[in-house]
């Protein structure tokens, strides 16, 4: 499925994998986020942090009437305040979707799949 944007010059289709890449990039760029986690951890291996080319496995995009709703699965760093990291991810994802793709994010749901201790 893709998001369709109608302009005066024609139609623009943005694939869900493109949206997932933008969302994953915004999420992993946030302070306190170790990486993306799979939305289906049992099938995809529980302990794997997703790389950039697999962000679609950690993001769920749902089309709505006037925008999209996004679920983001992340792993946070031990010692960070999870609520603040989640709020930062929400605002950064919403901002990037609106500025990069011109898509309105009606909801950005952050699912924290785990906490990882970073070695020093």
CATH of the domain at 28: 3.30.70.1350
Q: What is the pLDDT of residues 1-14, one digit of tens each?
A: 677 878 889 988 88
CA angle 101, 9, 5 (to 5 degrees): 35
Please state the pTM of the whole predicted model: 0.84
Question: 20: Cβ–Cβ under 8 A, 6 or more apart, which residues?
Answer: 55, 56, 58, 59, 61
C-alpha dist (Å) from residue 71 to 9, 43, 68: 31, 18, 10
Q: Which of 28-32, 40-44, 57-61, 85-89 has the lowest mean pLDDT?
A: 40-44
Q: What is the pLDDT of residues 65-104, one digit of tens each?
A: 888 999 999 999 999 999 999 999 999 999 999 999 988 9
Tokens 């792993």, residue?
75
User: DSSP alpha helices (H): ranges in the chain?
Assistant: 16-28, 41-44, 82-96
- Tell me the mean pLDDT in the region 24-53: 77
Tokens 């979707």, residue?
97
Over the chain, what is the mean pLDDT? 86
Q: How far is CA 69 from the centre of its chain?
A: 10
Whether the CB-CB separation of 87 and 74 falls below 8 Å is answered with no
The total domain count for the chain is 1
In this prediction, residue 100 carries a pLDDT of 93
Domain that holds residue 41: 3-116
Q: What band does 49 get if pLDDT is binned at 50, 70 and 90?
A: confident
The 3-state DSSP class for residue 62 equals strand
Higher pLDDT, 51 or 73: 73
């Amino acid at each position: 499925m893709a998001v369709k944007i109608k302009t005066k010059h024609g139609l623009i289709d943005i694939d869900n994998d493109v949206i997932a890449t933008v969302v994953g990039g915004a999420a992993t760029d946030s302070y306190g986020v170790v990486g993306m986690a799979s939305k289906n951890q049992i099938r995809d291996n529980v302990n794997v942090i997703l790389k950039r080319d697999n962000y679609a496995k950690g993001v769920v995009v749902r089309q709505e009437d006037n925008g999209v709703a996004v679920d983001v699965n992340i792993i946070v760093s031990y010692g960070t305040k999870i609520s603040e990291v989640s709020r930062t991810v929400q605002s950064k994802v919403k901002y990037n979707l609106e500025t990069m793709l011109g898509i309105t994010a009606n909801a950005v749901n952050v699912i924290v799949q785990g906490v990882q201790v970073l070695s020093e």
